Structure 1
Amino acid sequence: MTESRRDAPNSPSACPLHSEAVPLYGDALRGDTHELWELMRKRFGGIAPVEVEPGVAAWLMLGYSEHLQVLRDQHLFSHDGRIWRELKEGRITPEAGTYPVFAHRPNALHSDGAEHQRLRGALVDSYDGSAQSRLRVDIEDLANALIDRFAARGEADLIAEYAGRIPLLAVNRMLGQDDRHGHYLCDLMVELWNGNGEAANAANEKMVGYLVDLVDRKRGEPGDDITSRLIAHPAGLTDEEVVQQVMLTIAAAHDPTANLIGNALRLLLTEQEMRMAVAGAQLRVDEAIDQVLWRDPPFQTLAGRYARRDTEVAGYRIREGDCLISGFAAANNDPLLFDGGGTHASARSSGNRAHLAWGVGPHRCPAQKIGHHMAAVSIETLVFRLSDMRLSVPERDLRWRPSLFIRGLERLPVVFTPQEVPDAASGDPTWPQSNPSSSTPAPETPKDRRPDSANSGLWSRLSSLVRSWRGL
């Protein structure tokens, strides 16, 4: 299939993409993935053959320069998974667990050329209409309301009760929805992450209805929000395209931003030097976030780019249709980024943002400023409110989710001095009384209208997508 220029004879059995592929599923992902990336780098160099499922191979980019080569060249490397060799030759099918991660969708992430520019332009313009000052007020408001829910207990799981909820609640406001809808959306996403069988499928169907109804209502009652701006954009997006861009926004805001917040809080709780630097104003919170994006980016890998024709990367021959997966965590820790004294590039200048966590090239994340700002304000608010919080378990007991794609903790339990909270905080019916669950009542909207067959089919594998990201 694909031969290495290093020592591969002209034999199919010598093809490294399959014969030497390193499994990246199941038990292989339990443990410290940073060690795994470095072992692969020592064995293969800047790019390594991997299996995302048994018999389903791809290339994982490990080097910083290799990422720049591939991600900047949209003429040679496409974002359209329909040309993937493994798909065309039947080694991966829609029934496979990781298929939704690679499957093509008509949104800005999975398009190229003029179509990508049209869809991305609409997204960028809709985001730019969101005032940063209003976003900060919204996040502070949401953060304080979430903290009020557990402040009196003196303990919390900062993933389930804080970091895992605030990004969706904030984005929901940006979409033009009220907070009651936001909690409903949070609950649906949790069911999609954790549900099995009928429960996940039911949550998926509700999500479809939620988004279809959102676009339908905003066409009739536009406002100053992302959804309305997408609908009114000169690019002339169809309802389906608006739904797709909204879903892309939700997906990008939910788990990646939640894990960015969670990973930053972990470092502040476990590394005294960083905590003291932030407390002493020697390191701003947004600078600390950049360090997290260098060291523990929330997407440690991301699929994918597909070779439009035969080429070469890192000394390996890449065949037309081969998939190249971005390995952001490995690339950000490439030994080439260290100087002779062992100092990493991120430490050589304050707020260095040359990391790859937001991507690079034409597909660089259009919402990076929003995500960075959202994480910074969420962390600042929590640290201000709970200044004495500390881990309630030994650091060694913290567990990373066993996912190829996501770098995030399963839990982040902390304790702190209990605080008195206003009585109104416990009596507000728009805020659920417990952790996310299906018990939160659905908001009263006409969303019980069943989605049409086209949209239903389009999103039928949404639950599989989010579960694949999480490694379930």
Structure 2
Amino acid sequence: MDRPVQATDPSSTERPSLRELATDPLITRDYEARPALVYESLRARHGAVAPVDLLGVPVWLALGYAEVLEVMQNRDRVWSKRLDAWRDYAEGRVPRDWPLLPALEVDHVVFQEGRRLEELRGAYHAALRPFQDPASPQARELRAATARYADELIDVMTEGSGGSGFADLSAQYARPLPLMVVDRLLGFANGAGDEVLMDMWRVLDAGPDSGPALERLLAALAELAAAKMARPGDDFPSHMLAARPEFTVDELSRELMMLVGVAGDFPGVLINNTVVEVINGGAGVRDSLSAGLIRETVNRVAMASPPMANLTMRCPSTDVRLGGRLIRAGEPVMLSVAAAHADPAFTGGAGLDRADRVYQTRAHLAWGAGPHHCLGVELATMIVETAIDRLFARFGALSLTLPPDQLPWRSSPLMRGLRSLPVRYELAPRPAQPVPSPAPQPVFEPEPDAPRPEQPRSALWRFLRGLRRGAR
């Protein structure tokens, strides 16, 4: 590993800074259509670390697997995700209207370091444990609820179709399912999470109404945080408070927003990418799902098509060498997981679509590594596995209505996901159900506070039924 180079090293004053280098724009039409070709072109011209223009701001883009992993692991403790570690930002050279700035200025766990990071990650670990430990009743209930939500979405998608039809699996299944799970995790009462789900979509899509949606989202999460402080329950916010009682309403609401944004979007992108992999892979890949290899399939897709293609920037506290480049203190380095997974030094020159490369999927970086490694891996994986299991159990046949290279992608500097996933489907025959015996009449009335079945989500269901009508 290259060791840090002190600012007094003569080479640090002789070499130009990032702002002085010529940079090529990263986000172009070529990037939207075939980002892998853009990464390889940058690697051929610049090596493992390339200077690029990110929507008008110069950044270093780490393309090499070893370099990305080195920064993630941060063994020398020189790399910081704190926004104030970015020299151009601290000195006012980043335009206030830079599109990525609002997301980077939210002060939550993703952008913390040191003791603060350890404290917040400790709270997350404790709060997620009941919902990720397969032996816990909360985790079993959450998995069962996820399967039930998946079946409900499929029922709405196929209602009145006569057993076959067309659908957009992204809008009608892959995107709403994780948000429904997050809604349950947050513990919203009486379906109040409906509008939060819809506003989260608006924020993630960064459309013209994303600003007002963000304000409503933060207000709703602050109200939820205050409610859980007053009356905790068996949900994620309450477990966070139990682990770290000193949370303020504002602090907790920011952490809840991070959970909604990451857990609500990342699994949906991975569901879409896995569906495409299974459809394109033919009968062999689908048979592997029946053989219980869903997790291996999901892992391989996460390596070949990571949902978060590029990660938010890290800045070194001192001059360092990375991939043969001198990175000056305070210069931003964006880590490209997608490029790292395609690095010939990692793949050995073989393509990522090679089935015999499954053994390497556990070395992928889609979940991060080091101090910022994703704490919700099991939660996200459960959502994706359950979604894939229910989808291919319910549909006897699924086929794309567009060639794979014509599928529309959501272009983003960070995420790489489908905008829509148009398919033609045929429902699998339902197994015959035994005729139930007449139920005995109850000898007592249930108590007024007895648990009731979950009520349909009005706003979300109206939206999804509207999509179904529009698809006809």
Alignment TM class, shorter chain as reference: 0.7 to 0.9
CA contact (8 A) 2:318 2:330 kept: yes
Correspondence for 1:229 among 225, 234, 239: 239
Residues 302 and 366 in structure 2, CA contact (< 8 A), matched pair in contact too: yes
Q: Is the 8 A contact 2:314 2:334 kept in 1?
A: yes
- Judged with a 3 Å threshold, the aligned counterparts in structure 2 of structure 1 residues 176 and 261 are, in CA distance, closer, same or farther, namely same
Cα contact 1:47–1:62 (8 A) shared by 2: yes
Q: Deviations over 1:69-102 (max 9, x none)?
A: 1111162001101121221343313221121243
Matches within 5 A, 1:57-456: 57-73=58-74, 75-103=77-105, 105-130=106-131, 131-152=138-159, 153=161, 154-178=165-189, 180-194=191-205, 196-197=207-208, 199-234=209-244, 236-272=246-282, 275-279=285-289, 281=291, 284-339=293-348, 347-348=356-357, 350=359, 352-417=361-426, 428=456, 430=458, 432-435=461-464
Amino acid at match of 2:409: W
Q: C-alpha separation between the residues in 1 aligned to 2:321 and 2:18?
A: 14
Contact 2:218 2:254 in 1 (8 A): no
- Which segment is superposed worse, 164-173 or 387-396? 387-396
Report if aligned partners of 2:200, 2:260 keep a CA contact under 8 Å in 1. no
SS at match of 1:129: helix
Deviation, 1:410, is 1.0
Whole-angstrom distance in 1 between the partners of 2:360 and 2:44: 29
The 2-side partners of 1:238 and 1:342 are apart by 49
Identity %, equivalent residues: 27
SS at match of 2:313: strand
Cα deviation, residue 26, structure 1:
4.4
Residue number among 3, 16, 19 corresponding to 2:21 in the alignment: 19
Provide the C-alpha distance between the structure 1 equivalents of 2:355 and 2:280, rounded to a whole number of angstroms: 20
What residue ranges of structure 1 are gaps of 5+ in the alignment? 3-7, 422-426, 439-472
Check the 8 A contact 1:118/1:235 in 2, yes or no. Answer: no
Q: Distance in 2 between matches of 1:27 and 1:339?
A: 29
Q: Which amino acid aligns with 1:246?
A: L
Deviates more, 1:74-83 or 1:360-369: 74-83
Give the secondary structure class of the aligned counterpart of 2:361.
Answer: coil
Structure showing greater Rg: 2
C-alpha distance in 1, partners of 2:369/2:12?
35
- Contact 1:338–1:344 (CA under 8 A) maintained in structure 2: no
Task: Note if contact 2:64-2:339 (Cα within 8 Å) is conserved in structure 1.
Answer: yes
* RMSD value, Cα: 2.9
CA distance in 1, matches of 2:206, 2:324: 43
Residue 142 to residue 114, structure 1, CA distance change in 2 (3 Å): same
Quote the Cα distance in structure 2 between the aligned partners of 1:274 and 1:69. Answer: 36
Residue 54 of structure 2 corresponds to 52
1:365-390, Cα deviation, whole Å (9 max, x unpaired)? 01011111110111111110112121
Q: What is the distance in 2 between the residues matched to 1:343 and 1:394?
A: 20
Q: One-letter code of the match for 2:63?
A: L
Please give the alpha-carbon distance, in whole angstroms, between the structure 2 residues aligned to 1:101 and 1:291: 29
Pairwise CA distance, 1:415: 1.3
Question: What letter corresponds to residue 464 of structure 2 in structure 1?
Answer: N
> Does the CA contact (< 8 Å) of 1:22 and 1:49 recur in 2?
yes
Q: Is the 8 A contact 1:176 1:225 kept in 2?
A: yes
1:40 CA displacement: 0.9
Distance (Å, rounded) in 1 between the aligned partners of 2:190 and 2:63: 41
Letter in 1 for 2:42: M
Separation of aligned partners in 2, 1:338 and 1:120: 32
**In structure 1, the residue corresponding to 2:188 is in which secondary structure?**
coil
Q: Kindly indicate whether the alpha-carbon contact (under 8 Å) linking 2:156 and 2:465 is maintained by their aligned counterparts in 1.
A: no
Question: 257-266 or 201-210: which moved more?
Answer: 201-210
Larger CA deviation: 88-97 vs 44-53: 88-97
Describe the SS at the equivalent of 2:218.
helix
From the superposition, tell whether residues 418 and 69 of structure 1 become closer, same or farther in structure 2 (CA, over 3 Å).
Answer: closer
For residues 13-45 of structure 1, give each alpha carbon's deviation from its aligned partner in whole angstroms, at most 9, with x where no partner exists: x54554232212343532110111111111111
